[in-house]
Amino acid sequence: MSTLWTPSGERPIPRKPDPGAGGTPGGAPGGGPSGGGGRGAGEGPGAGAEPSEEQVRAELAELQAQLARTPAAVVVANHAFGLFELAALHLSLQPPQLDEARLAIDALGLVVEGLGDRLGSHAKELEAGLGQLRMAYVQIRGAAQGPGAGGAGAGGAGAGVAGAGEGSGGEGAAGEGSGGSG
């Protein structure tokens, strides 16, 4: 099942049933019954029938209209918060997935530092979150390389987080916060 992001959250977009698949009452594999609030007419926890193609199209059109009415800064900030959560997830795993976290931190840094105040009311919150992630990355990477010096995923020289006190001007969880010359 696909989803569409809206300001009120992710909305499921049901697929047309595959006639040769011998449909099951529970819907998509692993999905199970949904308790889903926020669905359109004819859908919901008690609805037994799939919505018609016209209903799906109408709901999709309404969701697209809702998205079009939402300021782009809100949508972009929402995606930036998703990058924050992704980086935090990879840092919290045991062992931490430093390369994956670094990619998400770098992407967040590009969005936050590249757009700055254009992110509206979320700009300061995202800047603070980016700083926290960079510090956490440096601390976790140091702990992973400290005792037993080795390979919990950071990789090599230049994998520092610029803007978090690392002296390296190399690549990796960068940003342009430390004034390095590249």
What is the distance between the alpha carbons of residues 158 and 170, in angstroms, rounded to a whole number?
A: 4
Q: 57-104 pLDDT, tens per residue?
A: 999 999 999 999 999 999 999 999 999 999 999 999 999 999 999 999
Interatomic CA distance for residues 160 and 59, integer angstroms: 46
Distance set, CA 18 to CA 22, 34, 52, 93, 157 (Å) = 8, 20, 14, 38, 51
Q: Is the pLDDT of residue 169 over 70?
A: no
Ordered alpha helix ranges (H), 25-71:
53-69
- Cut 0.85: pTM above it: no
CB 65 within 8 A of CB 7: no
Q: What percentage of the chain's residues is helix, strand, coil (to nearest 5)? A: 50, 5, 45
Residues 39, 11: Cα–Cα separation, whole Å: 8
Please give the span between the terminal C-alpha atoms of the chain, in angstroms, as a whole number.
44
Domain boundaries, the chain: 72-145
Q: What is the mean pLDDT of residues 29-49?
A: 50
Reply yes or no on whether the pLDDT at 108 is more than 70.
yes
CB neighbour class for 122 (10 Å; exposed up to 12, middle 13-18, buried from 19):
middle
Separation of alpha carbons 40 and 62, rounded Å:
10
